[in-house]
Chains A and B, each alone.
Chain A
């Protein structure tokens, strides 16, 4: 089974981000970066499927030169080779542009299965996977918590997470694309042996082709206003608790 995993490099979760002077993007030139967490789960799922079914796992990432960091990490965790669609503008690109860049590089590969994380920690569009499926002409399913490949390798049965604790099994023919939900599996980390092996693995770098995309322009990026002024209730625990209950009854009227 030939599996592609699309991963994105994002600013580290707890990095103290600031808005750039342009007020349309963040100051990330000195930031530290990491693999987008949902994509890490997609990678882990791909590695597990390969261990079960054989084949290869190809990491695909669209972004500037710096994304080679997360590509190396994915190779160290066990992916076999990588395709890096390189372009400076991809760092802040919208989902449609990223999907177009990836589709251009992935089209000729004839993957059996394409996995992506369900959304990214930075722009959080949650669209790249679905748009990529549309561009590659593949059936898709989103927010997946379990993947079963049929014995004949011709179809899939996957467990989709719905809202409010509901789930649903969906079958579809292969090739297909799935967006993977965090928590579907337990992540593995790279071993020293994996890190050494990764150095010998192939990374194919291709320049991003400019694509016609619809476009969403960020006019301004800003820190959200605090939505309410908190009323702190002081005093001992019994005093504060009594005052809280009084306020909830008489002021907020929710009890």
Chain B
């Protein structure tokens, strides 16, 4: 049995959960989904629509808000009772915060940031990037089950998650948590930037990189984003320079997105950027360097000066509107 650990915050499921369920479904094994929190029945019912054997509602007042101590204690108990062979997580910041401690406490291996799993010589292996994505590795988990693995956001498509003919049963999984033993005291999450945006939900994104040369040229990209009804995003150097707020950053240290259209303007495509956007359905790159790595993942490429090409795209959009 595969246990998928779902993620929720503030009454909503993290969409990456569906991607991880889809990854689990690809193995053909029986799947149980666990959802942890204080009051998760409604979201558990939502999860039960997926083609899975069972949904576990792991509820305790001390599990809201999220803390690593609380989640490690709760899920360690769930593992002991459910005895899964494999435990899968979405590779979110929350997973990164507690899953390594959970695996260490149980003496189990945790293979993070996987993009796929496959059977190799009769054994299940996990594929993950190493050395900033320069290489991929087929990794075989060792030691006793359950083995833990997390799937990179966008590694599977959420819409690939099969729905069941009838809702899966939801069962309450009782856990004992000593609230006084939880050492972290979290405060309410907040957004720093006033116009903070969740780029993961955007259908179209125009992203700008070093090729834009200066903050004064940003309107070139802003106008294109507006014309395409797209969100404006950037590679890390643009945000480090303060030309755009950090919450507009795409890449390993920023957001990971999989929009329908990703139009990269003046972005060379360092791997730290590529990991954040290569899941996009259609990728367009405009860059003056034909050898730029961005073209390795682009579906359509225009080699040229962005200050000529972008206005031309605007004109083409208007001309045919």
Q: Is the CB of A219 within 8 A of B125?
A: yes
Q: Of all chain B residues, which has the CB nearest A142?
A: B97
Per the bound structure, the CA–CA distance linking A166 and B191 in Å amounts to 5
Q: Is the CB of A11 within 8 A of B309?
A: no
Contacts of A244 in B (CB 8 A): 284, 300, 302, 313, 316
Contacts of B285 in A (CB 8 A): 230
Contact of A240 with B by CB under 8 A: yes
Closest chain A CB from B273 CB (angstroms): 14
Contact of B129 with A by CB under 8 A: yes
Q: Is the CB of B131 within 8 A of A214?
A: no
Tell me how many residues of B have a C-beta within 8 Å of chain A: 91
Contacts of B301 in A (CB 8 A): 230-233
Stretch at the interface among B42-50, B156-164, B196-204: B196-204
Q: Is the CB of A237 within 8 A of B309?
A: yes
Per the bound structure, the CA–CA distance linking A95 and B103 in Å amounts to 12
Closest chain A CB from B143 CB (angstroms): 4
Q: Which of B93, B193, B315 has the most CB of A within 10 A?
A: B93
Per the bound structure, the CA–CA distance linking A160 and B97 in Å amounts to 10
Contact of B132 with A by CB under 8 A: yes
Q: Is the CB of B278 within 8 A of A124?
A: no
Q: Is the CB of B303 within 8 A of A232?
A: yes
Contact status of A216 and B140, CB under 8 A, knowing A164-B200, A171-B184, A232-B302: yes
Q: Of all chain A residues, which has the CB nearest B247?
A: A165
Pick from A96, A162, A170, A255: contact of B109, CB under 8 Å: A96
Q: Is the CB of A17 within 8 A of B134?
A: yes
Q: Is the CB of A227 within 8 A of B190?
A: no
Q: Is the CB of B299 within 8 A of A220?
A: no
Contacts of B187 in A (CB 8 A): 168-171
Contact of A35 with B by CB under 8 A: no
Q: Is the CB of B100 within 8 A of A241?
A: no
Q: Is the CB of B183 within 8 A of A220?
A: no
Contact status of A166 and B104, CB under 8 A, knowing A221-B135, A221-B136: no
Q: Is the CB of A245 within 8 A of B316?
A: yes
Q: Is the CB of B139 within 8 A of A219?
A: yes
* Count, A-B residue pairs, CB within 8 A: 252
A26-B131, A164-B196 are known; give 13 further A-B pairs, CB within 8 A: A130-B97, A141-B97, A143-B96, A165-B247, A170-B184, A212-B107, A220-B138, A221-B136, A222-B135, A224-B136, A228-B299, A230-B299, A252-B300
Contact of A181 with B by CB under 8 A: yes
Stretch at the interface among B56-64, B169-177, B253-261: B253-261
Stretch at the interface among A59-67, A71-79, A132-140, A197-205: A132-140
Contacts of A48 in B (CB 8 A): none
Q: Mark B178-195, 1 if CB is under 8 A from A, else 0.
A: 000001111111111100
- Chain B residues 270 to 304 lying within 8 A of chain A, measured CB to CB, are 278, 281-285, 290, 295-304
Closest chain B CB from A235 CB (angstroms): 9
Q: Is the CB of A162 within 8 A of B299?
A: no
Q: Is the CB of B131 within 8 A of A142?
A: no
Per the bound structure, the CA–CA distance linking A125 and B103 in Å amounts to 13
- Chain B residues 88 to 147 lying within 8 A of chain A, measured CB to CB, are 92-93, 96-98, 100-101, 103-105, 107-113, 120, 125, 129-144
Per the bound structure, the CA–CA distance linking A176 and B183 in Å amounts to 10
The 8 closest A-B pairs by CB, nearest first: A165-B247, A215-B142, A241-B312, A214-B109, A139-B183, A127-B100, A130-B100, A214-B143
Q: Is the CB of A237 within 8 A of B312?
A: yes
Per the bound structure, the CA–CA distance linking A74 and B303 in Å amounts to 43
Tell me how many residues of A have a C-beta within 8 Å of chain B: 76
Q: Of all chain A residues, which has the CB nearest B92?
A: A163
Closest chain B CB from A84 CB (angstroms): 23
Q: Is the CB of A223 within 8 A of B135?
A: yes
Q: Is the CB of A168 within 8 A of B188?
A: yes
Closest chain A CB from B42 CB (angstroms): 22
What are 12 A-to-B residue pairs whose CB atoms are below 8 Å? A142-B97, A164-B197, A169-B186, A169-B187, A172-B185, A217-B142, A221-B130, A222-B135, A224-B129, A238-B315, A252-B282, A254-B261
Q: Is the CB of A252 within 8 A of B313?
A: no
Contacts of B216 in A (CB 8 A): none
Contact of B69 with A by CB under 8 A: yes
Contacts of A171 in B (CB 8 A): 184-185, 187
Q: Is the CB of A215 within 8 A of B320?
A: no
Contacts of A237 in B (CB 8 A): 304-305, 308-309, 311-312
Q: Is the CB of B108 within 8 A of A214?
A: yes
Q: Is the CB of B120 within 8 A of A19?
A: no
Q: Is the CB of B107 within 8 A of A241?
A: no
Q: Which of B110, B247, B303 has the most CB of A within 10 A?
A: B110
Contact of B317 with A by CB under 8 A: yes
Per the bound structure, the CA–CA distance linking A9 and B297 in Å amounts to 30
Contact of A218 with B by CB under 8 A: yes
